[in-house]
Each structure stands twice: as structure tokens, then as C-alpha cells.
């Protein structure tokens, strides 16, 4: 199989390096100094277990890649509307596209069934640009549980995690999802296949919708938020609102709110991806992670006072930071979207 990592930042370059190191046919698409460094020296991976250098094919132009079997989308959610229209040259008749983004994905209600079938969330897919570029039949969903960061261009620090859960949106165990899983496992990653991928996505949302924006506002780690009595109460209230949305959509959550908070506490003094992005001056995945849940609450007429308050404050913080650095909040290049994706 021929793979393309479209957006080979910290996560994408790590996955691509593992695949190339295992002898798989993989091309990494990147931009800027990170692209040039990988072209010159390969991808250098540093980790607790071992360090290695991989030399996959690297490109800054999708047209020169040609059609591939599998595209793994490595950019963050807020950059998909920029990347998706560029994917035409790499999409053959049977090309599969693996989504990896945090939050509510653009395809979530395609094939959902019932009254919510096919609805588009403006905060996730403005103007339907992503859906127009990537047909729903191509999508295989994934949830990434890997934390990495770019130390310097071309050098990836693997912090923790090696699991990528995979699933067909309709729940079947298809040949294509099995082959993708086998390729990732051959690369040294864990790649379980789930038949209830939407439910698992919402379990991750349950934590991210609360912990991510609060961490951006406070600078606190997961453990710090979980052990603070007042903040943990706010976390719980936001999770309860997100749980109500899930229930109205008919989603079943396999873990309780208390279990989700306890799990975050066990991670320890770990900064969320949103806090890391804020500190690095990168755009936040606010709309897909929080804004989309608020938008669904509006559709469902569910009051979400706690989520709305934290969302509004975090949005203002992000806009204020963007103004302070003279960068419009909408100025989201692919290069600054190629960043880490921890819990």
C-alpha cells in the first residue's frame, strides 16, 4: 500500500517515520523549515525507548505525489479547510482518507442516520469546504493517543503514547480498515479497530471540551485541574453538558464523568494540546473541540452555560493573542498547524 501523511508535523512526521522505518511506502507532505530539514537529513525521532532516523519520501507539493492508497490527515482541525481542496491530485478512485483531528470531525453526521443525517457544523467545516473535497465514502476515522513535539525542524520528540484507534464510521470491520491497522501495527504502533468509533470520539471530546479551554485560561496541567476543588467542579459541569448532547444524539459513553476526570488526573502534570499551542503562539483547535459542541447544543436547545462561558473567554483570549502578535485569528497556515496532539 502507498501512504501519504498530509501534514507531517509532530504527530504526522512521527507516524510517517515509524512507517518508513518499518519499510512501508510512505510520503510525508510538509512546509517551511520543517520540510527542508526532513529533505536534507530525514526524520530524527527521539524517545524514551530508542532514537532512530528514518528517510521517507518528503515533498512540499502534492501534485508530484500522484494517487495513493491511503491519505492520513496530519494537520489540526482548523487547517483542514485549507488542506482539503488541495488533495485532488492524490485521490484515486479508491483512496481512503484517515481523519485524525481532535474534536467533532467534519464527517461525523455523514451516514449518521435519523434527523441528524448529513448536517454540517459551520464551526468545523465552514461553508462545507471539507465535505466537498473529501467524499464521505473515503473516510476511515481514527483517534490518536500520541504526544509528540518538534524540538527543532526535522527532529521529533516522542513524549508518550503509541495508540491510534481506527474505525469505519458505519461500524463495519472492512478490509481497508484492517489493512491500515496491520500497517500501523507493523510500524510498532497499537492500532485497535473499534465498531463504535463515534462513541469513542465523544469520550475524548468529553475530556477535551473541559480540560483544554480551562488549561488555556489558567495555565494548569491535567492533574492541577483535576485536584482543584473549584476547577474540578467546573470541569464536571462542562462534561455534564457535553454528556447531555451525546445522549440527545443517541451516543452511548462507555466511561463515566468521574472515570474521565480520574483518568486525566492519572496522566499527571501534563499540559493539554490547547495550552501548548497557546504558549507556542499557534492557533487553537477551539472550534472543533468546544465550539462544535456549543453549536450542537444550540441545535438541540440544550442550555450550556458553563461550556459557553469558558468557550467565550478562551475565544477572546485567542483573538487577543492574535492581535498582540499582529496575526489575524483566521491566518492559519499549514505550517503552524503541524504541531503536537496530546490528550
Whole-number pLDDT of residue 328: 47
Q: What is the pLDDT of residues 215-234, one digit of tens each?
A: 999 999 999 999 999 999 99
Whole-number pLDDT of residue 179: 98
Label each residue of 70-103 as H, E or C: EEEECCCHHHHHHHHHHCHHHEEEEEEEEECCCC
Is a pLDDT exceeding 50 seen at residue 331? no
Q: What is the pLDDT of residues 85-106, one digit of tens each?
A: 999 999 999 999 999 999 999 9
* 126 and 215 inside one domain: no
Domain boundary among 198, 222, 246: 198
pLDDT range class, residue 333, cuts 50, 70, 90: very low
First-last CA distance in the chain: 29
* 342 within a domain of the structure (yes/no): no
* 139 and 248 inside one domain: no
Q: Which one of the listed residues 204, 248, 315, 327 is annotated catalytic?
A: 204
Whole-number pLDDT of residue 253: 94
* 209 and 166 inside one domain: no
Is a pLDDT exceeding 80 seen at residue 337? no
Q: What are phi and psi of 277, to 5 degrees?
A: -65, -40
Overall domain count for the chain: 2
Is a pLDDT exceeding 60 seen at residue 332? no
* 277 within a domain of the structure (yes/no): yes
204 is catalytic: yes
Residues 148 and 36: beta-carbon distance below 8 Å: no
Instruction: Give all strands of the β-sheet with 91-99 in edge-to-edge order.
Output: 52-54, 43-46, 155-167, 139-152, 91-99, 68-73, 2-6, 25-29, 57-59
Whole-number pLDDT of residue 267: 84
* 77 and 102 inside one domain: yes
* 221 and 161 inside one domain: no
* 316 within a domain of the structure (yes/no): yes
Long-range contacts of 321-330 (CB under 8 A, 24+ apart): 321/278, 321/281, 322/283, 325/281, 329/283
CATH number at residue 248: 1.10.1040.10
Contacts of residue 266, Cβ cutoff 8 Å, sequence gap at least 6: none
* 343 within a domain of the structure (yes/no): no
* 62 within a domain of the structure (yes/no): yes
Whole-number pLDDT of residue 268: 85
* 138 and 74 inside one domain: yes
* 169 and 301 inside one domain: no
Cα(99)–Cα(107) distance, rounded to whole angstroms? 9
* 175 and 215 inside one domain: no
* 185 and 242 inside one domain: no
Domain boundary among 169, 198, 227: 198
Strand ranges inside the chain, DSSP E: 2-6, 25-29, 43-46, 52-54, 57-59, 68-73, 91-99, 139-152, 155-167
* 56 and 160 inside one domain: yes
Q: What are phi and psi of 98, to 5 degrees?
A: -100, 115
- Which structural domain, as residue segments, surrounds residue 123? 2-198
* 114 and 135 inside one domain: yes
* 151 within a domain of the structure (yes/no): yes
Whole-number pLDDT of residue 323: 77
* 118 and 259 inside one domain: no
Whole-number pLDDT of residue 338: 52
Residues 230 and 175: beta-carbon distance below 8 Å: no
- Rounded to an integer, the average pLDDT of 260-289 is 91
Of all residues in the chain, the percent with pLDDT exceeding 90 is 84
pTM for this entry:
0.91
* 111 within a domain of the structure (yes/no): yes
pLDDT range class, residue 341, cuts 50, 70, 90: low
Q: What is the mean pLDDT of the chain?
A: 92
Range with the poorest average pLDDT among 52-56, 113-117, 136-140: 113-117
Task: Please give the DSSP secondary-structure letter assigned to residue 269.
Answer: S
Query: How far apart, in Å, are the Cα atoms of 174 and each of 25, 36, 117, 193, 195?
Result: 21, 37, 22, 10, 10
Cα(72)–Cα(338) distance, rounded to whole angstroms? 13
Residue with cell 481523519: 99
- Which grid coordinates belong to 200? 469513542
Whole-number pLDDT of residue 190: 97
Domain boundary among 198, 230, 263: 198
* 132 within a domain of the structure (yes/no): yes
- Rounded to an integer, the average pLDDT of 180-190 is 98
Cα(114)–Cα(250) distance, rounded to whole angstroms? 10
Q: What is the pLDDT of residues 293-308, one digit of tens each?
A: 999 999 999 999 999 9
CATH number at residue 103: 3.40.50.720
Residue length of the chain:
343
Amino acid at each position: 500500500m502507498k501512504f501519504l501523511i498530509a501534514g507531517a508535523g509532530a504527530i504526522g512526521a512521527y507516524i510517517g517515520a515509524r512507517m518508513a522505518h518499518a519499510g512501508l511506502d510512505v510520503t510525508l507532505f510538509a512546509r517551511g523549515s520543517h520540510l527542508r530539514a526532513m529533505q536534507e537529513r530525514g526524520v530524527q525521532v527521539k524517545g524514551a525507548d530508542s532514537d532512530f532516523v528514518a528517510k521517507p519520501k518528503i515533498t512540499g507539493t502534492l501534485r508530484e505525489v500522484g494517487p495513493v492508497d491511503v491519505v492520513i490527515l496530519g494537520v489540526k482541525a482548523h487547517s483542514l479547510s485549507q488542506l482539503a481542496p488541495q488533495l485532488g491530485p492524490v485521490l484515486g478512485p479508491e483512496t481512503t482518507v484517515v481523519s485524525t483531528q481532535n474534536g467533532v470531525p467534519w464527517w461525523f453526521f455523514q451516514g449518521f442516520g435519523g434527523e441528524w443525517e448529513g448536517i454540517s457544523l459551520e464551526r468545523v467545516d465552514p461553508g462545507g469546504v471539507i465535505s466537498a473535497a473529501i467524499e464521505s465514502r473515503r473516510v476511515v476515522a481514527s483517534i490518536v493517543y500520541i504526544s509528540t513535539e518538534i524540538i527543532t525542524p526535522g527532529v521529533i520528540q516522542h513524549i508518550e503514547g503509541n495508540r491510534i484507534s481506527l474505525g469505519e464510521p458505519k461500524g463495519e470491520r472492512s478490509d481497508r480498515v484492517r489493512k491500515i491497522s496491520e500497517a500501523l501495527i507493523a510500524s510498532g504502533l497499537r492500532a485497535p479497530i473499534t465498531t463504535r468509533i463515534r462513541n469513542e470520539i465523544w469520550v475524548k471530546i468529553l475530556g477535551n471540551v473541559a480540560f483544554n479551554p480551562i488549561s488555556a485560561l489558567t495555565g494548569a496541567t491535567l492533574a492541577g485541574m483535576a485536584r482543584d476543588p473549584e476547577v474540578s467542579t467546573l470541569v464536571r459541569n462542562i462534561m455534564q453538558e457535553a454528556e447531555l448532547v451525546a445522549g440527545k444524539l443517541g451516543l452511548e459513553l462507555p466511561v463515566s464523568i468521574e472515570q474521565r476526570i480520574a483518568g486525566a488526573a492519572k496522566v499527571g502534570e501534563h499540559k493539554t494540546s490547547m495550552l501548548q499551542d497557546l504558549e507556542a503562539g499557534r492557533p487553537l483547535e477551539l472550534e472543533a473541540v468546544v465550539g462544535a459542541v456549543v453549536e450542537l447544543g444550540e441545535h438541540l436547545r440544550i442550555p450550556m452555560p458553563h461550556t459557553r462561558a469558558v468557550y467565550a473567554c478562551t475565544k477572546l483570549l485567542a483573538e487577543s493573542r492574535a492581535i498582540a502578535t499582529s496575526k489575524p485569528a483566521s491566518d492559519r497556515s499549514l505550517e503552524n498547524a503541524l504541531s503536537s496532539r496530546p490528550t
